[in-house]
A and B are shown apart, each in its own frame.
Chain A
Amino acid sequence: MADEFEPKIVAFLCKWCSSAGSDLAGVSRMQYPPNVIPITVMCSGSMSPLYILSAFKKGADGVLVSGCHPGDCHYIKGNFYARRRIALVKKLLEFIGLEPQRFQMSWVSAAEGTKYTQIIKDFVEELKPIGPQTKLRRSS
């Protein structure tokens, strides 16, 4: 089906765990939807809410923030800060009426290639029925 809606997902992956996890999925030749645009950040704790809003503004249908499991952070506690901040961003986006499915967070370690592919598969499946994101997209 050529005209099926293919969501565009921007995934912010932390350099030490999630990025390595996605790399593992790649080198292990695991199949997963090509809808993701990965962006490596140094730590999930370095995620500014502006990155997320910027992605939505530039037309992302979904945004994923992924970091190390709690306790595994390369910078000891970066992902704990991220957990707080992202929770607030998520609540705020829901408050203004954005679909809650569009913004997700996950913990993916460097060994969890399978988990990463599963998260992307689920994310794409969830985004397909709700269609393109037009609320925060820049119109001109």
Chain B
Amino acid sequence: MVNLEDLKKEAKRILEEGKIKYIIGYERSPNGMMSMPAFIKNPEDAERLTWDPSCVYNLTRFLVDEKRRKAKEKKPDTRPVAIVVKGCDSRAVVVLLQEKFINREDVYILGVSCEGAGVVDEKKLTEKLKGKKADKIEFSEKDHFLITSDGEKIKIPAQEILAERCLECRANFPVIYDEVLGEKVERRPEDPFKSIERIESLSKEERWAFWKEQLDKCIRCYACRSVCPMCYCDECVVDTISFAVAADTTAEEKAQKIKWIERSPDSSENFVYHLVRAIHLAGRCIDCGECERACPLDIPVRLLNKKLEKEAKELFDYEVGFDPEKPSLASSFKDDDPEDFIR
């Protein structure tokens, strides 16, 4: 079990030593049981840090923002930033390292174990509590969560309220860290691609109907892109849709800013956007499920990425986010990659 006091003590120590710029972690939200991201600069504020099953967010996105901010500063503070990571988030750090987007010395990784469980799905929990408000949620003994609601303690089996991605998780313990808290509990899901197989078992027309219904809902708010730690391109391919072509627009500009996708949230445009996003995340998505959580219309965006994760595993035996030294999926090949689909 992660001892919260150890986390606070460790946070306090590294801040007092002054080797760390600040800590990106979680703190209790003033509203209800969910936690929220915290940025801790002063050692005395380390008390605010928390770690419980409501820490759903993938904080590695803030490493991307930090790098951007640092690049703009005239005299940047070059000390590393500390970050609290779960197993899945640590794999996001690995991918950022693998792509040389961040350097290992720029980040101090405080790993926390998910204790053989994971994080909760807020919607599932709300449903389970039938309208009652939870004040606190804790890890309990193996496979259970302890929920405090109106002063009453309820024990719920983790399987019932775990986030979808946690049910299919293959890394519930950080794969890279400077300091780690909690024990390594082996928890191998029986079927890591269950949600994908469910859709694959449908007929072609049923699959189309499913995706058509889901993706037609998309309003193209790009929340999935904003929240994704891997969507860090300086200019996204869909940004050029707001590029206005005027009389004095040069041919070069027109050639560089091609409107691949129209701005209107039509069915065909939504499909192109989501498919391209999925392809761009192939071999990079670590399945933190943030896109799905951030989606205001509950589109199962995660499934598209998960499908490519499955194919990368099955076709190319490639697993994302375990080894920062390995070449990435799209920048490597094997002589015996499958080519039975090629004529």
Q: Chain B residues near A135 (CB, 8 Å)?
A: 208, 212
In the complex, which residues 208-255 of chain B have their Cβ closer than 8 Å to any Cβ of chain A? Answer: 208-212, 237
Q: In which size bucket is the chain B interface?
A: 35 or more
What string of 1s and 0s marks CB contacts (under 8 Å) between A94-124 and chain B?
A: 1111110000111100000000000100100
Asked if B312 is at the interface of the complex by the 8 Å CB criterion, the answer is yes
Specify which chain B residues have a CB less than 8 angstroms from the CB of A106 in the assembled complex: 342-343
User: In the complex, A77→B32 CA distance in Å?
Assistant: 55
Within 8 Å of chain A (Cβ to Cβ): is B329?
Answer: yes
Answer whether A80 and B307 are a contact pair too, CB < 8 Å, given A49-B275, A50-B237, A105-B342. no
Interface residues of B in 312-343 (CB under 8 A from A): 312, 315-316, 329-331, 333, 335, 337-339, 341-343
Chain A residues within 8 Å of B279, by CB: 49, 85, 88-89, 92
The interface on chain A, measured as residues whose beta carbon lies within 8 A of the other chain's beta carbons, has a size of 37
Inter-chain CA distance A96–B304, complex, in Å, is: 9
Tell whether, in the assembled complex, residue B268 and residue A81 are in contact, meaning their CB atoms are under 8 Å apart: no
Docked Cα-Cα span, A99 to B204, in Å, equals 7
Chain A residues 26-79 with CB under 8 Å of chain B are: 49-50, 53-54, 57, 70, 77
Q: Which residues of A contact B311 (CB under 8 A)?
A: 87-88, 91-92
| CB-based contact B308/A137 at 8 Å | no
With contacts A135-B208, A137-B268 taken as known, whether A83 is within 8 angstroms of B342 at the C-beta atoms is yes
* A84-B316, A138-B269 given; A96·B208 CB < 8 A: yes
Q: Is A90 an interface residue (CB 8 A)?
A: yes
In the complex, whether B276 has a CB less than 8 A from a CB of chain A is yes
As a 0/1 sequence over residues 178 to 218 of chain B, the CB contacts with chain A under 8 angstroms (1 = contact) are 00000000000000000000011000111111111000000
A61 to chain B, nearest CB (A): 15
**A interface SS class:** helix
- Shortest CB distance B278–A (Å): 6
Which of A70, A93, A97, A122 contacts B339, CB < 8 Å? Answer: A70
Is B297 in contact with chain A by the CB < 8 A criterion? no
- Asked if B276 and A88 sit within 8 Å, CB to CB, the answer is no
Q: In the bound complex, how far is the Cα of B304 from the Cα of A49, in angstroms?
A: 15
B337 x A83 contact (CB < 8 A): yes
A126-140 contacts to B, CB under 8 A, are: 135-140
Question: Out of A57, A91, A122, which one reaches B308, CB within 8 Å?
Answer: A91
For A53, list chain B residues within 8 Å (CB): 271-272, 275-276
When A and B form their complex, which 3 residue pairs have the shortest distance between CB atoms, in order from nearest? A97-B208, A97-B207, A106-B343
6 example contacts (A-B, Cβ-Cβ < 8 A) are as follows A50-B260, A83-B339, A83-B342, A92-B278, A97-B210, A106-B343
